[in-house]
């Protein structure tokens, strides 16, 4: 068996460890889809540029439209960010196209022949296989069934350090079900053909540098973990706002709504990383064990308190932008929520009594994804006549997008009079440490690389999926009974969401 290549280098007093995967045959279903063109192909090309795609690795792009290998390569050449370089041509030499109906046995039989032909040309005539389902969820199970029947997902018996080699992994995009029952049904269907170890449920937010950094920020620095609890933290707010509307996703969004689209996955995943206990090791199962324990501890509002602690909204026309009901593909009387704000608690010794405020919306004033840790006021002020409550709270701000980084708000003396105090922000942007011309790695690069390495740390386990749907069930039931509050496009959302947090003496 070939060895993976591990690179270790020092970085500002620390260490960088990167592992390049073994030869891997990558199959993407949905070759001409938006996700493949905007994210997957550029990410694989960037991995190739960084030397993190094995030289013997190959890519098969599966689409329904008939075209030749070279026609598909020409399509890739037109994608944003590809350019015209020798490296691109080297990458394109690894790319092949396969056409047909994904659900038909003859399509998969021809795919299996192409896979065999490509693997037979490899040095050891075998490789790991990664199947990426960038398709509608409705065809997940039929595709997996065909792959299994053709023997394409069958793992061989060679075992190295408890890892089956070569592995056959399958990536699934969200949504993974649309409620608890459908998620369980899909899971049971997939487990007829795959093991849980082969299933990679992707949430691209977990691939973002700032989100990954939460673990290191908390557990590699003695400065923060001792105060990461109810004794020192007043509240936590998590915001994911977008300036765009539903764009081309109206068909999906009308059925899903904002709660299913953002809260069941992105929001709860980020909350888990912020609030979970320290795992015993930096390994996939230990980290995901703690995330599951955290989800078990979440106390959602009950039916009596949902009206006060859940605000749903829908954008209307404003600031030269159309309303949600005016978007193409949206019903003129739709009650689908495009904004949600939720207050919840975590019932454990670390967080008892501390509120967590989550909000997300479309057609908001600005594009922003951030986690804010609001610390308590100092217990006593020696700076008379300044009272503790007169001083702004210390805040730690983790910015996920648009510009990844972190900031710490503290109180400091300002130049001038003897007693002149005010906020000082210590601000760090990841872009500041990049080389000239270098860009932040795309989240999909990290996730694709991890899947090729057989590392499930940043992927969602089945018990997390079920728990998230169970937590959201009463909220989804409640939303059937109400009409979302209107808010103008291009604003901060419904005023009711502002009032909800102001009642507690806090702000977003």
* Set 46, 98, 204, 266: catalytic member: 266
DSSP state of 459: S
In the numeric block, which tokens belong to residue 77?
């050449």
Distance between CA atoms of residues 471 and 264, nearest Å: 8
Give every CB contact of residue 94 below 8 A, 6+ residues apart in sequence.
Answer: 48, 53, 57, 58, 59
Question: Strand locations in 362-442, DSSP E?
Answer: 368-375, 395-401, 405-413, 421-429
Kindly report the CA angle at 84 between 82 and 87, in degrees rounded to 5? 80
Identify which of 312, 272, 302, 309 has the alpha carbon closest to the alpha carbon of residue 290. Answer: 272
Distance between CA atoms of residues 367 and 365, nearest Å: 7
Sign of CA dihedral 338, 339, 343, 345: positive
Distance between CA atoms of residues 47 and 22, nearest Å: 13
Identify which of 434, 441, 505 has the alpha carbon closest to the alpha carbon of residue 50. Answer: 441
The beta-carbon contacts of 466-471 under 8 Å, at least 24 apart in sequence, are: 466/180, 466/183, 466/184, 466/187, 467/292, 467/295, 467/296, 468/264, 468/265, 468/268, 468/295, 469/177, 469/179, 469/180, 469/183, 469/264, 470/180, 471/268, 471/295, 471/298, 471/300
Distance between CA atoms of residues 244 and 38, nearest Å: 17
Whether the CB-CB separation of 233 and 226 falls below 8 Å is answered with no
Identify which of 258, 264, 270 has the alpha carbon closest to the alpha carbon of residue 300. Answer: 264
Element (H, E) at 250: helix 250-258
Element (H, E) at 359: strand 356-361
Distance between CA atoms of residues 315 and 177, nearest Å: 26
Q: Indicate if 12 belongs to the active site.
A: no
Distance between CA atoms of residues 109 and 113, nearest Å: 6
Rg (CA), the chain: 24
Q: Which residue has the tokens 């019932």?
A: 347
Name the residues annotated as catalytic: 266
């Amino acid at each position: 068996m070939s060895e993976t290549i591990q690179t270790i280098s020092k970085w500002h007093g620390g260490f960088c460890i990167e592992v390049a995967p073994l030869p891997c045959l990558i199959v993407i279903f949905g070759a001409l889809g938006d996700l493949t063109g905007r994210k997957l192909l550029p990410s694989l090309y960037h991995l190739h540029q960084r030397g993190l795609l094995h030289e013997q690795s190959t890519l098969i792009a599966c689409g329904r439209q008939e075209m030749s290998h070279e026609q598909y390569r020409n399509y890739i050449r037109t994608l944003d960010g590809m350019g015209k370089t020798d490296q691109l041509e080297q990458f394109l030499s690894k790319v092949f196209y396969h056409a047909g109906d994904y659900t038909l046995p003859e399509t998969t039989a021809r795919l299996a022949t192409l896979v065999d032909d490509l693997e037979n040309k490899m040095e050891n005539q075998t490789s790991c296989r990664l199947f990426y389902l960038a398709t509608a969820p409705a065809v997940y199970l039929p595709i997996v069934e065909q792959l299994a029947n053709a023997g394409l997902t069958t793992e061989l018996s060679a075992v190295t350090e408890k890892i089956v080699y070569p592995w056959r992994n399958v990536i699934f995009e969200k949504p993974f079900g649309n409620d608890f029952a459908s998620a369980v049904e899909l899971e049971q269907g997939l487990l007829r053909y795959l093991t849980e170890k082969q299933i990679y449920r992707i949430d691209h937010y977990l691939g973002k540098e700032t989100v990954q950094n939460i673990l290191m920020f908390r557990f590699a620095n003695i400065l923060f973990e001792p105060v990461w609890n109810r004794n020192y933290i007043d509240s936590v707010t998590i915001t994911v706002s977008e300036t765009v509307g539903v764009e081309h996703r109206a068909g999906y969004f009308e059925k899903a709504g904002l709660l299913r689209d953002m809260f069941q996955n992105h929001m709860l995943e980020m909350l888990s990383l912020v609030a979970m206990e320290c795992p015993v090791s930096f390994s996939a199962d230990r980290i995901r064990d703690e995330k599951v324990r955290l989800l078990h501890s979440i106390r959602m509002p009950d039916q009596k308190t949902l009206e006060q602690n859940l605000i749903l909204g829908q954008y209307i026309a404003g600031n030269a932008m159309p309303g949600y009901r005016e978007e193409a593909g949206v019903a003129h009387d739709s009650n689908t929520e495009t904004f949600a704000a939720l207050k919840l608690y975590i019932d454990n010794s670390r967080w008892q009594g501390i509120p967590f405020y989550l909000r997300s919306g479309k057609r908001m004033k600005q594009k922003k994804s951030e986690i804010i840790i609001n610390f308590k006021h100092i217990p006593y002020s020696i700076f008379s006549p300044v009272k503790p409550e007169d001083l702004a709270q210390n805040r730690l701000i983790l910015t996920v997008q648009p510009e990844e980084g972190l900031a710490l708000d503290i109180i400091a003396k300002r130049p001038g009079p003897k007693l002149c105090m005010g906020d000082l922000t210590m601000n760090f942007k990841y872009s500041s440490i990049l080389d000239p011309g270098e860009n932040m790695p795309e989240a999909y690069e990290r996730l694709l690389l991890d899947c090729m390495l057989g590392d499930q740390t940043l992927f969602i386990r089945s018990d997390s999926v079920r728990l998230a749907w169970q937590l959201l069930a009463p909220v989804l039931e409640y939303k059937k009974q109400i009409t979302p509050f209107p808010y103008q496009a291009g604003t901060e959302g419904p005023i009711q969401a502002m009032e909800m947090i102001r009642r507690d003496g806090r702000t977003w």
